Chain A
């Protein structure tokens, strides 16, 4: 007789409301027991959340992000990733620095994905948090924020803050857990440690802190995974077609175009192209004149990846590089 009972219990658990955090059902915590419930929830959720909260090191500052898959996919803000196909460095909680590449972004709502391209030692899975895909968060829910406020600090760790959802709109959540520079792109969690948003921006008042709801990410997930640049800003400016920068001068030669000069620290030089190289093709298209090169470049933008086939000292080589910004 015991088996059916167990079966019934499992059924009952499944029927329970999805937002199981009890204090959220009250307008405010009412008792010491409620405070303990909240504290216990935080103590249980923060360590895992903290392990998955990364710092994203940019040339001129830093932001935060959160790992959401065991193979190192990171959710962040578009104004942190600042573009598609960019090389960035991700710093794990223990200070390990890993190479990463920005995938797609939604420039209108401030959502972006980054893929960590290096593996953890011994191929260990990345610490990842669960995304709350139920869309069940509501006004007044208790939340906690993490982020590398003001930059990475190993001794301190990611900073955690408690707050409530004080405003809910289609593409923005507002909380009263204070954010500051460096937190951008960091995670916003419900009290069960499930990701509900990504930090985006702050108002002049401490109580005004804006986040991108995870729904904006999940709605655009496949496009962002495919490294698509969505929208026309304002959080990231779309790279302009024809503004891609290569940084070399050429002359038409037999079988292609010959490199006559390289700009210092130009994308071409940094990719290893040398004076005298004979460039035969660009993205598979034959280059029979300088004009041909220019006409292909006119269709490309900063950040676009290109492939050259060249001949140097009689040997054929392939060179991949990313266009800079002119």
Chain B
């Protein structure tokens, strides 16, 4: 894909003055100050694994769940301070959001913007590279209409099945799938989904095609002849059975979970997949959303502020009970 550009009459713009260059991002200093105080950097040991959005003074931080799940020890840095052993206190798989709690008392939570009705071309500002003491920013624009991102390839349990005389037998359980988390095992015979009998792979696929990833289904099984019922969270096919397309190969680094969101805003700021979870600010420094998936080299998704606010308030309320 790389062609050589003829050398004559060629001029080149210094990196510093490119869209993500320091000379350009300097103008976003007031938004950077908000990122400095109200975004979090999530670490596993020395590795940055995600960013986060500070939503309360007493230490609640939202981040992208699939980037922090299964990570042994999570440390969080807000502003210049480091907080050891953050706890994942709750997750919302529909939005792929995790609520972290750190031992803090006087954080500066983000201020939510009134809504996410932002026309294409509106400036937005997000986390750029970070150091121990300093957060940088990157800026870009809203690039598409807000909308639902359907699960890539439809919703799946996360198993491969074989049609047998006894019924649909589980041959293999995919790693990180809802099936695995529910405890579904190789050899289990699936008899019904939400009470509807399933005998063929095609019938099961048809049934699931009407459902959404992140929603739960009741799976009745026979294990060693005994009846049992499991709650399985559906995953997006594209997240479980990944087949790299040509565009994926062009995209370099993208989020593992990048589809199956009820609604997103889309912008053109391209951080690495580990930069998800941070706030998306407008020029007023208010959060219009939270980065949730780098879809490919030209598209990044964020949870819109309306839903983000609901998630933040709802999750804090629930863990407070």
- Residue numbers of A with Cβ under 8 A of B are 27-32, 34-36, 38-39, 42-43, 45-47, 50, 139-140, 144, 149-150, 155-172, 174, 176-183, 201-204, 206-208, 210
24 pairs, A vs B, C-beta closer than 8 Å: A39-B121, A140-B13, A144-B141, A149-B298, A150-B296, A150-B299, A159-B298, A160-B144, A163-B19, A166-B12, A166-B18, A167-B10, A167-B11, A167-B12, A168-B11, A169-B5, A169-B9, A172-B6, A174-B5, A180-B250, A182-B247, A202-B250, A207-B20, A210-B3
Is the CB–CB distance between B296 and A207 below 8 Å?
no
Is the CB–CB distance between B27 and A34 below 8 Å?
yes
Shortest CB distance B286–A (Å): 15
Is the CB–CB distance between A27 and B123 below 8 Å?
no
Across-interface contacts of B250 in A (CB, < 8 A): 180-181, 202
Is the CB–CB distance between B24 and A29 below 8 Å?
yes
- Given A35-B123, A46-B120, A155-B145, the answer on whether A166 and B283 have CB atoms closer than 8 Å is no
Q: Which of B245-259 contact A (CB under 8 A)?
A: 246-247, 250-252
Shortest CB distance B143–A (Å): 5
Q: CB-defined interface of B90-126 with A at 8 Å, one 1/0 digit per residue?
A: 0000000000000000000000000000011111000
Q: Taking the complex as formed, is B202 at the interface, i.e. its CB lies under 8 A from any CB of chain A? A: no
Is the CB–CB distance between A157 and B144 below 8 Å?
yes
Across-interface contacts of A43 in B (CB, < 8 A): 119-122
Is the CB–CB distance between A180 and B297 below 8 Å?
yes
Q: CB-defined interface of B268-285 with A at 8 Å, one 1/0 digit per residue?
A: 101000000000000100
Query: Roughly how many angstroms separate A156 CA and B145 CA in the complex, as a whole number?
Result: 5
Q: Taking the complex as formed, is B1 at the interface, i.e. its CB lies under 8 A from any CB of chain A? A: yes
CB within 8 A of A164: which of B17, B121, B123, B296? Answer: B17
Q: Taking the complex as formed, is B2 at the interface, i.e. its CB lies under 8 A from any CB of chain A? A: yes
Shortest CB distance A35–B (Å): 6
Across-interface contacts of A180 in B (CB, < 8 A): 247, 250-251, 296-299
Is the CB–CB distance between B18 and A176 below 8 Å?
yes
Shortest CB distance B136–A (Å): 15
Which DSSP category, helix, strand, loop or mixed, fits chain B's interface? loop
What are the 7 closest A-B residue pairs judged by CB atoms, nearest first? A42-B121, A161-B268, A166-B13, A180-B298, A155-B147, A181-B247, A28-B23
Q: Taking the complex as formed, is B266 at the interface, i.e. its CB lies under 8 A from any CB of chain A? A: yes
Is the CB–CB distance between A27 and B247 below 8 Å?
no
Across-interface contacts of A42 in B (CB, < 8 A): 120-122, 141
Is the CB–CB distance between A177 and B268 below 8 Å?
yes
Shortest CB distance A166–B (Å): 4
Query: Roughly how many angstroms separate A77 CA and B23 CA in the complex, as a whole number?
Result: 33
Across-interface contacts of A176 in B (CB, < 8 A): 18-20
Is the CB–CB distance between A156 and B1 below 8 Å?
no
Query: Roughly how many angstroms separate A139 CA and B10 CA in the complex, as a whole number?
Result: 10
Across-interface contacts of B147 in A (CB, < 8 A): 155-156
Is the CB–CB distance between A50 and B120 below 8 Å?
yes
Across-interface contacts of B144 in A (CB, < 8 A): 156-160
Across-interface contacts of A207 in B (CB, < 8 A): 18, 20
